[in-house]
Amino acid sequence: MKMKADLTEIRNKTVTVSDYIERLEGDFRGKFLTRKENYQLRQEAVNRLRQFTREYFVVAFSAEWCKDCAANIPVLAIISEVTGLEVRVFGGLKKDSLSKTRKWRVPPSPPEVETFGVDKIPLIIVFDAEGNEVGRIVENPKEPTLEEELLKIILGEKNQS
């Protein structure tokens, strides 16, 4: 299900990926920062991504307790820092163990978990500058690296337009 999003509204309701990591506490913050410090970007993919950073916008749904988030959100932060790609995060997702019909407890999870149909996290959504969804990465990239998967999504959308 491809979404159309109001990017201004998303900016108002989210934090940058770097701010998200900085605001984490305790061991969770340590895991995210360790991953960020130790990850080596695939330079060729990053160099190609730089060409498109003004045309695309990335939104991620994350929770500090999620191991796939701890693996991928720090990589998004590096990609953002190195390329200038804007990456915003809806954080603090909590499972709703009291409900058989709802996966996420809202609040503290943002209501956007329902708007965007978040099932598994991290959910990374790529939008074009007009707010049209062009692709999603659920939990982990299909390509060898996250930067390569982002590039594949963008190039695929470019070839369709």
Could you report the per-residue pLDDT of 87-114, keeping only the tens digit for each? Answer: 999 999 999 888 888 899 999 999 999 9
pTM (two decimals):
0.94
CATH topology for 7-160 is Glutaredoxin (3.40.30)
Q: Which long-range contacts (CB under 8 A, 24 or more apart) does 130-139 make?
A: 131/4, 131/5, 131/6, 131/7, 131/57, 132/2, 132/4, 133/2, 133/3, 133/4, 133/5, 134/2, 134/56, 137/72, 139/68
Q: Which residues contact 60 (CB under 8 A, 6 or more apart)?
A: 17, 72, 73, 76, 87, 88, 89, 90, 122, 123, 124, 125
Chain centre distance of CA 40: 18
In which band, very low, low, confident or very high, does the pLDDT at 160 lie, cut at 50, 70 and 90? low
Average pLDDT over the chain reads 93
Summarize pLDDT for 5-25 with one digit per residue, the tens.
899 999 999 999 999 999 999
